[in-house]
Homo-oligomer: A and B are copies of this chain.
Amino acid sequence: MIITREGVRVSDRRAVRGTVAEGFEAVREEFAAVVAGERPDYAAQVAAYVHGRKVVDLWAGPDTDGETLYGVYSSTKGAAHLLVALLVQDGTLDLDRRVAHWWPEFAAGGKGAVTLRDLLTHRAGVVGVDGGFSPEELADDRAMAGRLAGQRPYWRPGAGFGYHAYVIAALTGEVVFRATGRTLHELYEERIRAPHALDFFLGLPQEHEPRFRPVQPMDPTPEQRAELAAAEVPDAPGTLPSIAYNRNGERPTDIESLPNDRLVRAKGPASFGGVASARGLAGMYAAAVTGLEGREPLLEAGTVAEIGQLHSVGYDLVGRDHSSFVLGFQDSTYRYPFLGSGSFGHGGAGGSQAFADPRAGLAYGFTRRRYAFPGGAAPENVRLVRAVHSAALASAP
């Protein structure tokens, strides 16, 4: 038996596998402490790059290794909007142009003045559709876009912002398609994923299915169950959260099992349907900001800086609580306030987390198999991100 720095009893330190670079040993310690505090079947991965060099590549738990793939829910949005950022950098897309310029049908219902920047910052107000999406529509970004175009926004555009949980990248993806004739998925594969051989897929090819592990349902303690019940979005189909999470139709979506549907994985809806390993998540942000393993970064410094600017901060009309978005991404400093200004990324409902801290040259990825309490990026990320960030600052030349 071993006692860690935190005094946690660790029954099997060998539970943590993989490697860390010199100076990042504390991250392995912290991950081991996390594992020790979880149930025996806990399975997770954590990875990080500093200035493009892999410094953390760890995993733990049964039936898991560094190549295992998980459904990463909204961390998917990071892949989608990195592609959008490349097209903005190219000049193919203009952030301050009206969406209807590329996609005239979108002007319906009072959305004529909504810009691409508004879409990317959760300001358009079409977080779902009256009547809900069918499961087949939900798996198909273009089908969703078609219905969203005609929807009157749930708030007056300009009145604020709210998390477009299932649809933001169907909307931005439709702009990509209208502007380029190519899908966001194709362009992501071509310009980002394949060149870096990233294990972060928008649409999982059949040949990678053997590496995929289905999401396990949340298993809250009795205390956690009571907490969830108290905080619960009211179980009524007409509420704005119900619309945003597609619980307003005849076949309400069960979020926990969403990536377990092969149709979802195959089509990879760009707001929530991605499949990745922690290494793939971290690798993508490294490729974007610092370059991966010595290659040129995908994004220029000016693009990185613009992406990282705070855009929508305050009361989230869907989440009904405070939240904070930069351009197309979550403001990663909101959950991890010690990160550098301009950090950007996205976590996911099942527990995944991924971001870049450009000031520290850091890229981070985390996945886990079991849907985490209470939903959203898993709480153990707070400890892991702090350990990784501290080691990254200490390792600076």
* Contact (Cβ within 8 A) A236 B340: yes
Residue of B310, B341, B357 touching A160 (CB-CB under 8 A): B310
Q: How far is the CB of A128 from chain B (nearest CB, A)?
A: 9
Q: Which of A74-82, A151-159, A288-296 contacts B (4 or more CB under 8 A)?
A: A151-159
Answer yes or no: A333 CB below 8 A from chain B CBs. yes
Give Cα A327 to B153, complex, Å. 14
Decide: A239 and B338 in contact? CB cutoff 8 A: yes
On whether the beta carbons of B238 and A339 are closer than 8 Å, the reply is yes
Q: Indicate if the CB atoms of B310 and A238 lie closer than 8 Å.
A: no
B236 & A393 in contact (Cβ 8 Å cutoff): yes
CA distance A337 to B152 in the complex (A): 21
Interface size class of A (residues with CB under 8 A): 35 or more
Bound form: Cα–Cα A338–B320 in Å: 13
Which residues of B lie under 8 Å from residue A342 when comparing CB positions? Answer: 154, 238
Instruction: Tell me the bound Cα distance from A155 to B315 in angstroms.
Output: 17
Say whether B305 contacts A152, CB under 8 Å: yes
Please tell me if A260 contacts chain B, counting CB pairs below 8 Å.
no
Name the distance in Å between A164's Cβ and chain B's nearest Cβ. 14
Decide if A159 touches B320 in the complex (CB within 8 Å). Answer: no
Are A311 and B154 touching (Cβ within 8 A)? Answer: no
Please report the C-alpha to C-alpha distance between residue A176 and residue B147 in the assembled complex, in whole angstroms: 37
In the assembled complex, which residues on chain B have CB atoms less than 8 Å from the CB atom of A322? 315
Within 8 A of B (CB), among A296-317: 305-306, 309-315, 317
How far apart are A98's CB and chain B's nearest CB, in angstroms?
17
Q: Is the CB of A338 within 8 A of B234?
A: yes
Q: How many copies of this chain does one complex carry?
A: 3
Whether A310 lies near B236 (C-beta < 8 A) is: no
Task: Out of B152, B159, B236, B309, name the residue touching A313 (CB < 8 Å).
Answer: B159
From B233, B239, B315, B337, A239 is in contact (CB under 8 Å) with B337
Asked if A346 is an interface residue, CB under 8 A from chain B, the answer is no
Check A187 for interface membership: any CB of B closer than 8 A.
Answer: no
* A255 contacts across to B, CB distance below 8 A: none
Q: A320-B337, A341-B243 are in contact. Are A155 and B236 (CB under 8 A)?
A: no
A54 in the interface (beta carbon within 8 A): no
A389 at interface, CB cutoff 8 A: yes
Known: A159-B313, A309-B155, A315-B322. A341 touches B389 (CB 8 A): no
User: In the bound complex, what is the Cα–Cα distance between A240 and B309 (angstroms)?
Assistant: 11
- Chain B's nearest CB lies how many Å from the CB of A231? 12
Contact with B along A100-112 (1 / 0, CB 8 A): 0000000000100
What sequence of 0s and 1s flags, for each residue 312-353 of chain A, a beta carbon within 8 Å of any chain B beta carbon? 111101001010000100000100011111100000000000
Nearest chain B CB to A228's CB is how many angstroms away? 16
A360 close to B (CB within 8 Å): yes
CA of A125 to CA of B313, assembled, Å: 13
Does B243 contact A312, Cβ atoms closer than 8 Å?
no
5 contacts between A and B (CB under 8 A): A156-B309, A236-B340, A237-B340, A243-B341, A310-B317
List the interface of chain A (C-beta within 8 A of B). 110, 125, 152-156, 159-160, 233-240, 243, 305-306, 309-315, 317, 320, 322, 327, 333, 337-342, 357, 359-360, 389, 393
Further contacts, 11 of them, CB under 8 A, given A155-B309, A313-B315:
A154-B309, A159-B311, A160-B313, A234-B337, A235-B338, A236-B338, A236-B340, A236-B393, A238-B339, A238-B340, A320-B337
